[in-house]
Structure 1
Amino acid sequence: MIKFVLMVNQQGQTRLSRYYEPVELSRRAALEAAAVRCCLSRNKDQCSFVEYKDFRLVYRQYALSVFLLIFMFNIKSNFVEVLDKYFSRVIMFNLDSVHVILDEMIQNGHIVETNKSRVLAPLTAINKMVDG
């Protein structure tokens, strides 16, 4: 089960966070900072799976962003592929759409959809309504 998903920039600033288990707000910032520090401090030649406290961190650096999926394995590349398909270059200015994509793929910490067309269907329908 996925505990939480983070997307951070190379400076370690959180750009997107989604929790699938309750974590106190006071603990979130410290947990995110420690997980990001743990991943960003690793060498590029090292494995992208890290044991940290009670979590298994799986991370991947894409361009200027780092994606951390906590206790998750194959979904990170699929998530990035869906983002690439929907957005041309800039995603930081349209985080609502990123949240919709993430919610279509993961619900209650479980993967429910990986098909790119099905994941993007709600956004495609919204865009048609706006344009039409």
Structure 2
Amino acid sequence: MIHSVLVFNNYGKPRLTKFYTHYSEEKQYQILSDVFKAVTQKSSDNCNFIEKSNFLGDDFKIMYRHFTTLYFVFCCDPAESELAILDLIQVFVEALDKCFKNVCELDLIFHVDRAHYVLNEIVMGGVVLETNITEVLARYEDQMQAELLENRITPVINMPSIPASLTNRLPSLKDFKMPEIPYTVRDIGGL
């Protein structure tokens, strides 16, 4: 099972976090801090996974990939295959790259909802759902189309007009008088 997906920059600032196991907020910050320290202390010549026994009370395997300024980290239980998770990270990054047309750190900051949507198409509840990039991109495009349709303002068609007999009874807006608003506390009378 995948316990969490973490994306942070070279300075340890989280850009995308998703926890599939419930942890308190303090423990989440502790996990982020410890994972960042463990990942950045490794040499780039070493392998991309770390076996952490008794990591905050749980057994974790940390699998990660470093792309330019971002670390993509999956924290999993020991039963997960390291190579499969590294391949899953590659699928996630390629899907983000195609969705954002050359993804960068700013895309994850300003479009975190879209990044989470892509992640939710790949992993849900800590279980891998889809690894086919074509399917992930098709579902992403469907979501973007649905958002466009939802945000589109549709004109009102066949709206009944107000009869002339009623418009004569309505007061004119230019004759509408606003109440006087006091400018200071002294203008409020009685004070």
Q: Given the two structures, how large is their TM-score scaled by the length of structure 2?
A: 0.65
1:7 deviation in Å?
Answer: 0.2
**What RMSD over aligned residues (CA atoms) do the two structures have, in Å?**
1.6
1:120 deviation in Å?
Answer: 2.1
The match for 2:39 is 39
Aligned residues: 132
Residue 90 of structure 2, aligned match among 77, 99, 106: 77
Measured against aligned partners, the alpha-carbon deviations of 1:43-92 in whole angstroms (never above 9, x if no partner) come to 00011110122210001101110000112523111111111111123422
The 5 A counterparts of 1:76-115 are: 76-89=89-102, 90=104, 91-92=107-108, 93-115=110-132
Identity of aligned residues (%): 28
Aligned equivalents of 1:110 and 1:15: distance in 2? 22
Aligned with 2:2: secondary structure? coil
The match for 1:56 is 61
Higher relative contact order (CA 8 A, sep 6+): 1
The one-letter amino acid paired with 2:74 is L
Is 1:127 matched up with 2:144? yes
The match for 1:19 is 19
Higher alpha-carbon Rg: 2
The one-letter amino acid paired with 1:81 is E
1:117 deviation in Å?
Answer: 2.1
Aligned equivalents of 1:114 and 1:76: distance in 2? 10
1:95 deviation in Å?
Answer: 1.0
The match for 1:118 is 135
**Runs of 4 or more consecutive aligned structure 1 residues displaced over 4 Å after TM superposition:** none
